[in-house]
Chains A and B, each alone.
Chain A
Amino acid sequence: MSLPLALLGDFGEAIKFIFQERESVSGGVQIGGIPEMAGFGLTHMHVSIVAILIAAALAIPLSLWLGHIGRGEFVATATSNVGRAVPSLALLAFFISFIGLGLNNVIAVLVLLAIPPLITSTYVGIRQVDRDAVDAARGQGMTGWEIVSKVELPLALPSIFGGLRTAAVMVVATATIAPLANVQTLGTPILTPQTYGFVGQLGASIVVALITVAVDFVFARLQRAVTPAGLKLSEMPARRRFLFTTKRSFKPT
């Protein structure tokens, strides 16, 4: 185990940091190792999951309704443009200086970052539903609520889950800078080099990168799983299939 790790240089040391405790750079305390990283990981997941759930509860019903009545296109496009342009670091620093430190403020920042892609994807998903399908549903005597729940929502699910995927990756990535607000996530070793050193920074970066790629992969699978049979990719014309799988354009962290 140790010889191949030695060949990896800094990366080998960083991997060792993840699995084995060691004395801190400044001395005195033990750092690294599975128990400490797991503790950081739990806080990281805690703030991320809470933020995504709150953002989804706020953004999805609202944009579902806007999409259904066909209003608010301006809101949907404007939030996504503004959301992209505001740096996550600036937003977090804004909260730290104007509102304060702590868990709730970090969650609030993550919620604000997750809302724009959720609004856009839900709104676009509903508006992209074939108008003929909606007219046919109405012709069969479905009520407004039935049209939303039985026609529009199922057909928009792939797009909504695309938005969830983007939001989840963004939130997990941004939680890395949460230690600036005194919330100890996996970003802690990255942001406190005086204790963790470059090896700790690199080790935590490896963990964060692996987790975000895994989250991206899991949500990509979910996105396929919720696609109604009638919309399955194989039955789509090649061009739509291509557009459909590649709707990610949010990356503020």
Chain B
Amino acid sequence: MTVPLAQLQIQEPGGSDACAAANDFCPSWIVENIDRYWSPLLEHVYLTLAPVVIGFAISLALAILAHRRRWLTGPIITVTGIFFAIPSVAAFFLLQPITGLGYTTAIVALVSYTLLIIFRNITNGLRNVPAETRDAALGQGLTERQVLFRVELPMAVPEIMAGLRIATSTTVGLAALAVFAGAGGLGTEILLDKRFKSNVAVAGGLAVLLAALFDLLLLALQRAITPWQRARA
């Protein structure tokens, strides 16, 4: 156990740097210490991707269910809306007696926040498919299931992707608080030294960059899977 402790001591000399000691914004300190943000950043990526993927799967299932039984839409929006209003910091503690400290608690809470956004966008997308398009598909002999998977869902892709983009950037921001669930992420670094300007700027900046990067990737994905939209533009 002494070896990692010794390494930790060597990793700390931010304080001995004159600029860092004066608590200024120090590019040289950032360059030297950028390594220690790597694993929190990776945790942050995981804390964003897992909730969005799980949330998308649940929302898609709920949206397909609500597409068949319209009356379910209201109750689903009400329940997911209540989840949405609960602050993530509170949720991270409220879940701990059940799921303990760690990733599970963080991911369960973060999944619950993606549901309202993604469900609403999938449902809107499905409802915005013109009735004539549906009728044409049914008239060609497609079954209800085929209409859903071959016509309605593909046509809803732009709105679904818009929902995924909102959910993803929201989750990047909320994952900064997952440190309270004991799940790490960039928030850990922010809390470790919240008065050190360089530290706050790097950790906060990485979170914003991560959100921007995910947004660009989702935009690229949307262009790739909706060639007909590109042709129109």
A interface list, Cβ under 8 A from B: 9-11, 81, 84-91, 93-94, 96-98, 169, 172-174, 176-177, 180, 187, 190, 198, 201-202, 204-206, 208-209, 212-213, 215-216, 239, 242-243, 245-246, 248-253
Contact = CB atoms under 8 A, between A and B. Distances in A.
Given A10-B97, A251-B113, A85 B173 contact: yes
Contacts of A85: 169, 172-173, 207-208, 211-212, 215
Contact of B97 (A11, A93, A216): A11
Interface residues of B, number: 53
A245 B197 CA distance: 42
A251 B174 contact: yes
Contacts of A173: 87-90
B174 A252 contact: yes
Contact of A86 (B89, B173, B175, B195): B173
Given A87-B176, A213-B85, A216-B85, A190 B93 contact: yes
Interface in B120-167: 120, 123-124, 127-128, 166
Interface in B169-218: 169-170, 172-177, 180, 186-187, 190-191, 194-197, 199-201, 203-204, 207-208, 211-212, 215
12 contacts: A81-B215, A84-B166, A85-B211, A86-B207, A87-B175, A88-B177, A90-B207, A94-B201, A173-B89, A180-B194, A198-B96, A212-B87
B196 A97 contact: yes
Most central of A96, A246, A252 by chain B CB within 10 Å: A246
Contacts of A88: 173, 176-177
B84 interface: yes
* Interface of chain B, main secondary structure: helix
A242 B197 CA distance: 45
Contacts of B23: 97
B102 interface: no
A6 B67 CA distance: 43
Contacts, number: 155
A187 B123 CA distance: 36
B94 A205 contact: yes
A179 to B, nearest CB: 11
A85 B89 CA distance: 18
Contacts of A209: 86-87, 90-91, 94
A40 to B, nearest CB: 14
B49 interface: no
Contact of B93 (A180, A201, A243): A201
B117 interface: yes
A9 to B, nearest CB: 6
Contacts of B169: 81, 84-85
B117 A249 contact: yes
Contacts of A81: 169, 215
A102 to B, nearest CB: 13
B81 interface: yes
A48 B176 CA distance: 21
B41 to A, nearest CB: 13
A242 B225 CA distance: 27
A223 B174 CA distance: 26
Most central of B73, B86, B96, B207 by chain A CB within 10 Å: B86
A245 to B, nearest CB: 7
